Amino acid sequence: MSVAAARCLTSGTACFVGIGLPSTAANLARRTHAPDLWMIYESGTLGTAPSTLPLSIGDGVLADTADTVVSVPEIFNYWLQPGRIDVGFLGAAQIDKYANINTTVIGDYDAPSVRLPGAGGAPEIAASCREVVVIARQNPRTFVETVDFITSVGHGGGPESRQRLGLHGAGPSRVITDMGILEPDPETRELTLVSVHPGATTEQARDATGWDLATLPQPATTPVPTPEELTVLRSLTG
């Protein structure tokens, strides 16, 4: 999953990185095929190149290795909002077939069964980055027909939704899971299984999804990780 996500990133790209799996994938990309990946964390570190994976988005190693460190109002107002960031990299507690994301509550907002951390930087990352890559483990609890709370907008209610809302970025271009790769259908904007990871099947991916998952007639098989990718990944995650 981390390897497939890392491959979405190209050298020279400006990438807004969230902590956890997105951070692992971005750091893997920078150490393999994308040495000039320009990584940004919402704590204000621009162009950071940490020697170890940061435990939090404000880890000191991010500031030590950054091109520059800016304030939080600056990162959101001057860098993210005008569309200077190419790719936003987000996780999800729940995601629906239009790639709308919930990281706020499971259940009713006023009496939730699980209270999650909340929005953080995600709503504006999802709105303003030129494109968004989501990384999440695929299971029916996470991949749900309807998210309990829209924290960050994906493709809203379908075609033209983002345009109607006035969102400037193009929205989620890919969802990377532990089973495969999903992309929005060009017409319907519904997430469609386009690639299956080695060891997983289309049927497993459909079973792990809480709606009737669309698939390409012949989904691709995700290329296996190279020895170099695995070595670097293991060195990062210890």
* Rounded Cα–Cα distance for residues 90 and 136 (Å): 9
Q: Which is nearer to other proteins, 73 or 198 (CB)?
A: 73
Does residue 26 bind other proteins (CB under 8 A)? no
Of 107 and 199, which has the nearer Cβ to other proteins? 107
Is 42 in the active site?
yes
Q: From CA 234, how far away is CA 238, in angstroms rounded?
A: 6
Sole binder of other proteins in the list 33, 84, 123, 139 (CB under 8 A): 123
Q: Considering the complex, what minimum distance in angstroms separates the CB of residue 215 from other proteins?
A: 27
Beta carbons of 17 and 54 less than 8 angstroms apart:
no
206 with 215: CB under 8 angstroms?
yes
Query: Cβ of residue 21: shortest distance to other proteins, in angstroms?
Result: 12
CA dist., res. 79 & res. 66, Å (int) = 15
Of 8-16, 122-130, 135-143, 207-215, the segment contacting other proteins by CB under 8 A is 122-130
Q: Print the SS3 string covering 147-178.
A: CCCCCECCCCCCCCHHHHHCCCCCCEEEEECC
209 binds other proteins (CB under 8 A): no
Cβ proximity to other proteins, 226 vs 237, nearer residue: 237
Q: Which residues are catalytic?
A: 42
